[in-house]
Structure 1
Amino acid sequence: MASGFVLCADDFALTDGVSRSILALIEAGKLSAAGAMTNRRHWQTFAADFGALAERADLGLHLNLTCAAPLGSMPRLAPGGEFPALRDLARAAATSSVARREIAAEIARQLDAFEDKLGRAPDYLDGHQHVHVLPGVRRAVLEAVMRRYPAGRVYLRDPADSAVAIRTRGVAVGKALTIAALALGFRRAALRRGIPVNRGFSGVAPFDPGRDFTADLQRFLLKPGPAHLVMCHPGFIDDELARLDPVVATRPVEHAALAAFVPSELAMVRFAQLR
């Protein structure tokens, strides 16, 4: 039986508005984890503010391989200096050893950027668009965590849950099942290497601004796993956001719902409190 859940915001440093939203929610005690995109220029601006909240939330690397520019040269994957779309990344990672070497190098650069600014390891690692579980990417993620950090120090997000739990929640069911299928075997591979993972995952959303996100938050807590994690995507809209990401209109909706959110049963906690 779950004793609590981690409420995790993705995409810190994507834009100014997204970053300010996440900082405000952590400061208000409305999030217990947040992941940063260290390849984005806003990481340089907001990293100190982010790091100052280490006592309030888990601070992680939100590995980014599909949005904007990499931190180093990737002639196979990003010949024009911009990351490929998710479908192209998945294809290249699965078929090209050159692409896999470039991915491993970029993972190291993004981890370095996190550590350089915060002076410590991330609490966890996950992926923008769940890229960290893609075949051809997951092995590089697992090896990087094993090589760089003591066993158990950094946890990984498993974006899968049971079909029964996903259908019970009734939110973006097809999308959540697809992500769960994509992540098949990821948890087992991580645990075999001594890397902790969450057990239970929700927060997959249709990104429809007309939905009642407060109600969806309560649905995300139905049938929780014993170490449950709920992802979310709050933000304030700014001029840059629409150019970078398809998720725009729902971000302020999520911010407002999270700012007022009081879980009805489970307590919001950090991951270490669930282990």
Structure 2
Amino acid sequence: MKIIFNADDFGITDAVSAAIAELFGRGTPLKSTSVMINLISGRSASLLKDFLRGADAGKFSIGLHFNLTCGRPVLPAVEVSSLTGPGGSFLKFGELIERTGRNELSSSHIAAEFEAQIGAFRDKLGFYPSHSDSHKHVHMLPQIFEIVSRGLEKHKIKAVRLTENISADELFTSQGVPPEKAARCFEGRLAKTGGFYSYAASTALSYPRTFLGTYSVGSLCAETFEKEISGYAGSDAVCEYMTHPGVCDDELKKLSSLLAPREAEFNALKDPRLTQILKKYNIQPVSFHDLK
């Protein structure tokens, strides 16, 4: 079995970025991250580029963490007005869900902002992303998924996060979205289960067939990891394990409600017992570059 530990939210703050870069440099099982390109500072961008210049860059995958709910869009707010509030920042997550359920999001605005984030990624980091996922899993909303899929194909980006073992609507109810509101986001669109995967099969996109980490945010430790992964060991599958390592500071408190759990996951990924468990079950940590 192979496993991709992906650190979401690189760039949300310099402290989070530094924590992820430290995990890369320590030789931990973390081999992948996804970048919030609309928030990344010059300091965080330089940190990542400097690390990749000094490392075997092929061992690490750097993806786009497509973001529609935190900070300001890359494009001027007036150009993507269905995605923003009165102050020009992105809608809060709950507001985005509400607008999605009422069919009030403009597909052209979503596509334009996705293109802008891909362009900003290339301009700030000097290369295209290896894969894409999204903040709050918004790319798993059917309207957004179709747009993201087309955009990834256009730029020959071949990997995306999908959650074949978790229904798409469950991703949103697990984040506190009432089931009836989640259901409205899927009405008349891709099926809640299966539709994403048949759609992805019609494209050149690949994805890990198993997705873990949704229910262990903040509780990741050697014991919980072994319990979660043991049922998949021995297979030839590729699994993605979502993580959010980081260090909490005042800047992060302005942007995220996920605070102490980031430090818990940062420490868990440094724990040598994690590597011992991987060896015990013959699980190889890899990146999205290894996804076939």
Q: Which residue of 2 aligns with 1:273?
A: 290
CA contact (8 A) 2:68 2:138 kept: yes
Q: Give the 5 Å matches for 1:1-275.
A: 3-30=1-28, 31-42=30-41, 44-51=42-49, 52-53=51-52, 54-72=57-75, 73=77, 74-79=80-85, 80-96=87-103, 99-149=106-156, 153-161=157-165, 175=174, 184-205=194-215, 207-208=217-218, 211=219, 213-224=221-232, 226-260=237-271, 261-262=274-275, 263=278, 264-265=280-281, 266-275=283-292
Count of residues in correspondence between the two structures: 257
In structure 2, the residue matched to 1:169 is none
CA change 1:24–1:119 in 2 (3 A) is same
CA separation in 1, counterparts of 2:70 and 2:193? 21
Q: Which amino acid aligns with 1:68?
A: G
Gaps in structure 1 of 5+ consecutive residues: 167-171
* Kept after mapping to 2: 8 A contact 1:220/1:230: no
User: 1:132-174 CA distances to partner (integer Å, 9 max, x unpaired)?
Assistant: 111221111011111222xxx43001134168xx9xxxxx9x8
Q: TM-score, normalised by structure 1?
A: 0.84
Asked if the contact 1:203–1:231 (Cα under 8 Å) also holds between the matched residues in 2, the reply is yes
**TM-score, structure 2 as length reference:** 0.79
Please say if residues 10 and 231 of structure 1, whose CA atoms lie closer than 8 Å, have aligned partners that are also in contact. yes
Indicate if the aligned counterparts of 2:213 and 2:243 stay in contact, CA closer than 8 A: yes
Query: CA separation in 1, counterparts of 2:39 and 2:148?
Result: 19
Q: CA RMSD in A?
A: 2.6
1:158 counterpart letter in structure 2: L
Distance (whole Å) between structure 1 residues aligned to residue 60 and residue 15 of structure 2: 19
Q: 1:243 to 1:13 in 2, by over 3 A?
A: same
Cα distance in 2 for partners of 1:200, 1:254 equals 20
Amino acid at match of 1:46: S
Alpha-carbon contact 1:134-1:183 (below 8 Å) kept: no
Query: What is the distance in 1 between the residues matched to 2:286 and 2:159?
Result: 15
Asked which structure has the greater CA Rg, the reply is 2
SS of the equivalent of 2:18 reads helix
Contact 2:16–2:245, Cα closer than 8 Å, also in 1: yes
Q: Which amino acid aligns with 1:47?
A: A
**Residue type of the alignment partner of 1:127:** S
Identity %: 29
Unaligned residue ranges in structure 2 (runs of 5+): 183-190
Indicate conservation of the 8 Å contact 1:133/1:183, yes or no: no
CA distance in 1, matches of 2:9, 2:192: 21
AA at the equivalent of 1:273: D
Give a deviation string over 1:94-136, Cα, whole Å, max 9, x none.
Answer: 5446622111111111111111123221110000111111122
Preserved contact between residue 122 and residue 154 of structure 1 (Cα < 8 Å) = no
